[in-house]
Amino acid sequence: MRHMIDAHHAAAQASGARIVFSCGFDSIPFDLGVFKLQNDMRQRFGHPASRVRGRVRKMKGSFSGGTAASLKATMAAAATNPTVLDLLRNPFSLTPGFEGPRQPPGHKPMVDEVLGLWVAPFIMAAINTRNVHRSNFLLNHAYGTDFVYDEMLVTGAGYKGEAIANAVAADKSLGSDDGPKPGEGPSRAERDAGFYDVLFVGTDARGQQLRVGVTGDRDPGYGSTSKMIAEAAVCLRKDATGTPGGIWTPAAAMGEPLMARLQANAGLTFTAEAN
């Protein structure tokens, strides 16, 4: 994504072409979840949350061989090209010219101080967090230049939650030779039975807090992603006609009109929750 921004963003701005990255499970539920939370924070308190936690509460789905192959290709490129590794490590790799505050590493299990539950590294966080920071960047830092964001997978309370969190952190099966092969993936029955539920908790400097839940039906990577891609394309064509040329994120390019479409047609919900 960073290489495409460097190569084509200026040309897209000049020509009027609108290119929107990550219009599937990476990263619409997370990008728009933070977008809604920050809108709610501004309406309630008059300013955005400086700290947002994305917490995957439930998820049922599976990865395909294509996803595994993409991960392996990225890791292989990073092993031979130090600049790729630097981009992968940098939470602001998609915000050229801007470096924000230090971000949580998110690479080891811990007890979440807000939820009081064990959380583990979330495999898609490396992509989602970068897109969320790019949205903030493209929205003229509507979330603030001091914005801190991370994503983790909730595994539960007590010793059981800790054990699951440690198992998740140790699991390297997706990138191994034992993972799914290209062409392999979830069946239709598995896609239809999938779902996800993500919580976003926003906190400001005074400790004031709001929460937003985002849910989706069907397998996140396939059943839900296919619907999100289709609705994003229609939204970009019919609703977000004022978005100028450039390389965008879903929240920055389409925002509230896309949320409305996804709730009406794609099985997603975006809901304010009680603290």
> Rounded distance, CA 228 to CA 266, Å?
6
At 168-227, the pLDDT tens digits run 999 887 767 777 788 888 889 999 999 999 999 999 999 999 999 999 999 998 899 999
In a domain, 108, yes or no: yes
Q: What's the whole-number average pLDDT of the chain? A: 94
Could you give the number of structural domains in the chain?
Answer: 1
> Rounded distance, CA 264 to CA 123, Å?
29
Backbone angles phi, psi at 150, to 5 degrees: -145, 165
In a domain, 69, yes or no: yes
Task: Please give the average per-residue pLDDT across 10-38, as a whole number.
Answer: 97
Residue 77: CB atoms within 10 Å? 14
Residue 259: CB atoms within 10 Å? 23
In a domain, 7, yes or no: no
- What confidence score (pLDDT) does residue 175 get? 67
Q: N- to C-terminal Cα distance for the chain?
A: 36
Report the predicted TM-score, pTM, of the whole model to 2 decimal places.
Answer: 0.94
In a domain, 148, yes or no: yes
Tokens coding 160:
């059981």
One-letter amino acid identity for 90?
N
- What confidence score (pLDDT) does residue 221 get? 86
Q: How many residues does the chain have?
A: 275
In a domain, 1, yes or no: no
In a domain, 179, yes or no: yes
Least trusted range by pLDDT, from 39-43, 47-51, 76-80, 187-191: 76-80
At 70-113, the pLDDT tens digits run 777 877 887 888 888 888 889 999 999 999 999 998 889 999 99
Whole-Å CA distances, 149 to 86, 126, 182, 254: 19, 11, 33, 21
> Rounded distance, CA 264 to CA 253, Å?
19
In a domain, 14, yes or no: no
Instruction: Give the closest residue to 48 by CA, choosing from 139, 154, 115.
Output: 139
- What confidence score (pLDDT) does residue 28 get? 98
Residue 107: CB atoms within 10 Å? 10
Tokens coding 48:
């955005």
How would residue 249 be classed by pLDDT, with cut points 50, 70 and 90? very high
Domain region containing 216: 22-242+252-273
Task: Please give the average per-residue pLDDT across 112-127, as a whole number.
Answer: 95
- What confidence score (pLDDT) does residue 260 get? 98
In a domain, 3, yes or no: no
One-letter amino acid identity for 275?
N
Instruction: Give the closest residue to 84 by CA, choosing from 95, 73, 98.
Output: 73
How would residue 121 be classed by pLDDT, with cut points 50, 70 and 90? very high
Q: By the 8 A CB rule, do 50 and 206 touch?
A: no
Helix 28-45 to helix 255-265 angle (10° resolution) is 120
